[in-house]
C-alpha cells in the first residue's frame, strides 16, 4: 500500500528510520485507529455512536499503553521494533492526552511510532500481527 501511495503521488520519501518518532506516531495513530475501527465495524453493523464507543476501547491512550506493555512483557517485539518503540515513547511531545497519565500517553506514542514505522517500511503483515495481539489482549 505504501508503495502504491509513493507511486501514485510521485513521492520517494525517506527511509522509515529517518522520520522523527513523532512523525512515525502521527501516521501510526491513523493506521492503528483505522485497523481497530475496521475490526469494530466488521464485528457487527450498528449505529456510528455505538461503533465509536466500541472503538475507544482499543484507541484510547490508556488502552494502547496496556497493549504496549503486553507486547513487551510477552517478548513480541524484535530488537529493532523495541528500539523504535523506545524512540517513540521517549520523544518529547508538545501535547499530551486529555484523559491519560503522562506515562500512558508516552507508551501509546511509542506503540503508534512502531506501527507508523512498520507501515512506512511496507510491512503491513507485521502491523496487522501486532495490532491483532493488542486487540486480542484488550478483549481478554
pLDDT (0 to 100) of residue 99: 83
- Prediction pTM value: 0.95
- 13-30 residue pLDDT tens: 889 999 999 999 999 999
pLDDT (0 to 100) of residue 94: 78
Q: What is the mean pLDDT of the chain?
A: 94
- 109-126 residue pLDDT tens: 999 999 999 999 999 999
Label each residue of the chain as H, E or C.
CHHHHHHHCCCCCCCHHHCCHHHHHHHHHHHHHHHHHHHHHHHCCCCHHHHHHHHHHHHCHHHHHHHHHHHHHCCCCCHHHHHHHHHHHHCCCCCCCCCCCHHHHHHHHHHHHHHHHHHHHCCHHHHHHHHHHHHHHHHC
- Residues classed as catalytic: 29
Amino acid at each position: 500500500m505504501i508503495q502504491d501511495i509513493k507511486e501514485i503521488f510521485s513521492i520517494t520519501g525517506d527511509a522509515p528510520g529517518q522520520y522523527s518518532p513523532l512523525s512515525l506516531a502521527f501516521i501510526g495513530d491513523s493506521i492503528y485507529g483505522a485497523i481497530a475501527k475496521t475490526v469494530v465495524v466488521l464485528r457487527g453493523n450498528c449505529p456510528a455512536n455505538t461503533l465509536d464507543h466500541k472503538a475507544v476501547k482499543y484507541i484510547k491512550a490508556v488502552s494502547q499503553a496496556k497493549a504496549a506493555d503486553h507486547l513487551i512483557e510477552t517478548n513480541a517485539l524484535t530488537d529493532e521494533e523495541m528500539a523504535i518503540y523506545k524512540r517513540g515513547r521517549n520523544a518529547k511531545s508538545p501535547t499530551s492526552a486529555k484523559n491519560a497519565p503522562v506515562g500512558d500517553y508516552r507508551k501509546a506514542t511509542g506503540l503508534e511510532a512502531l506501527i507508523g514505522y512498520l507501515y512506512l517500511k511496507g510491512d503491513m503483515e507485521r502491523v496487522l500481527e501486532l495490532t491483532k495481539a493488542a486487540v486480542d489482549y484488550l478483549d481478554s
